[in-house]
Amino acid sequence: MKNVKKIAIMGHGVVGSGVAEIFLGNHQNIENKTQVSSEIKYILDLRDFPGLSYSDKFIKDFNLIANDDEISVVVETMGGLNPAYTFVKTCLEKGKSVVTSNKELVAEKGAELLSIARSKNVKFLFEASVGGGIPIIRPLSQCLAANNILEINGILNGTTNYILTCMIRDGVSFEDALAQAQKLGYAEKDPSADVLGLDACRKICILASIAFSKHVYPKYAHAEGITKITLKDVEYAKAWGGAIKLVASAKLLENGKVALETSPAFVSSENPLSSVNDVFNAAFIKGDAVGDVMLYGRGAGKEPTASAVLSDVIEALNSTDSGLALNWSDCDYDITEPYENLKNRMYLRVSGSDLCGLDKVFSEREEVGAVCGECAFITPAISYSELAAKTEQLAALGISVDAAIRVLDI
Amino acid sequence: MKNVKKIAIMGHGVVGSGVAEIFLGNHQNIENKTQVSSEIKYILDLRDFPGLSYSDKFIKDFNLIANDDEISVVVETMGGLNPAYTFVKTCLEKGKSVVTSNKELVAEKGAELLSIARSKNVKFLFEASVGGGIPIIRPLSQCLAANNILEINGILNGTTNYILTCMIRDGVSFEDALAQAQKLGYAEKDPSADVLGLDACRKICILASIAFSKHVYPKYAHAEGITKITLKDVEYAKAWGGAIKLVASAKLLENGKVALETSPAFVSSENPLSSVNDVFNAAFIKGDAVGDVMLYGRGAGKEPTASAVLSDVIEALNSTDSGLALNWSDCDYDITEPYENLKNRMYLRVSGSDLCGLDKVFSEREEVGAVCGECAFITPAISYSELAAKTEQLAALGISVDAAIRVLDI
Residue B19 identity (one-letter amino acid):
V
Q: Cβ distance B318 to A324 under 8 Å?
A: yes
Q: Given the residues B6, B41, B57, B203, select the one marked as catalytic.
A: B203
Average pLDDT over every residue of A202-218: 95
pLDDT of residue B31: 84
Chain B hits for A325, Cβ within 8 Å: 33, 35
Q: Cβ distance B352 to B361 under 8 Å?
A: no
Question: In a 3-state reduction of DSSP, which class is residue B71?
Answer: strand
pLDDT digits (tens, 9 = 90+) for A372-390: 999 999 999 999 999 999 9
B293:A318 CB<8 A? no
The C-alpha torsion from A30 through A33 and A37 to A41, rounded to 10°, is -40
> In the predicted model, what is the mean pLDDT of chain A?
94
| Residue B313: pLDDT over 50 | yes
Q: How many CB pairs under 8 A join A and B?
A: 202
Q: Which ranges constitute the DSSP H helices of B121-251?
A: 137-138, 158-170, 174-183, 192-195, 198-212, 231-240
Q: Cβ distance A202 to A154 under 8 Å?
A: no
| Cα distance between residue B276 and residue B245, in whole Å | 9
Question: In a 3-state reduction of DSSP, which class is residue A90?
Answer: helix
User: What Rg value do the Cα atoms of chain A yield, rounded?
Assistant: 23
pLDDT digits (tens, 9 = 90+) for B145-191: 899 999 999 999 999 999 999 999 999 999 999 999 999 988 889 99
Judged by a CB distance cut-off of 8 A, whether residue B311 touches chain A is: yes
pLDDT of residue B321: 61
pTM: 0.93
A29:B321 CB<8 A? no
Identify any residues that bridge with A4 across adjacent strands, giving them in sequence order: A37
A142:B311 CB<8 A? yes
Chain B hits for A319, Cβ within 8 Å: 321, 323-324
Judged by a CB distance cut-off of 8 A, whether residue B295 touches chain A is: yes
Closest chain A CA to residue B143: A311
The HSE-up count of residue B65 (CA atoms within 13 Å, CB side) is 33
| Residue A3: pLDDT over 90 | no
Residue B89 identity (one-letter amino acid):
K
DSSP string, B13-62: SHHHHHHHHHHHHTHHHHHHHH-SEEEEEEEE-SS--TTSTTGGGEES-H
Average pLDDT over every residue of B318-328: 67
| Cα distance between residue B243 and residue B229, in whole Å | 12
| Residue B127: pLDDT over 60 | yes
DSSP string, A233-256: HHHHHHHHTEEEEEEEEEEE-TTS
pLDDT digits (tens, 9 = 90+) for A225-251: 999 999 999 999 999 999 999 999 999
Q: Which one of A17, A279, A311, A320 would you mutate to disrupt binding with B, by most B Cβ within 10 Å of its Cβ?
A: A311
| Residue A1: pLDDT over 50 | no
Q: Cβ distance A248 to A216 under 8 Å?
A: no
Residue A329 has what DSSP assignment? B
In sign, the C-alpha dihedral spanning A212, A217, A222, A224 is positive
Q: Which of A47, A29, A34 is nearest to A5 (CA)?
A: A34
Identify any residues that bridge with A58 across adjacent strands, giving them in sequence order: A43
B123 is catalytic: no
Q: Which one of B9, B309, B311 would you mutate to disrupt binding with A, by most A Cβ within 10 Å of its Cβ?
A: B311
B290:A307 CB<8 A? yes
Nearest neighbour of A320 by CB, restricted to B134, B303, B320: B320
DSSP string, B92-134: HHTT-EEEE--HHHHHHHHHHHHHHHHHHT--EE-GGGSSTTS
**What distance lies between CA B408 and its chain's CA centroid?**
17
Residue B97 φ/ψ, nearest 5 degrees: -75, 145
Judged by a CB distance cut-off of 8 A, whether residue A288 touches chain B is: yes
Q: Cβ distance B6 to B20 under 8 Å?
A: no
| Cα distance between residue B403 and residue B401, in whole Å | 6
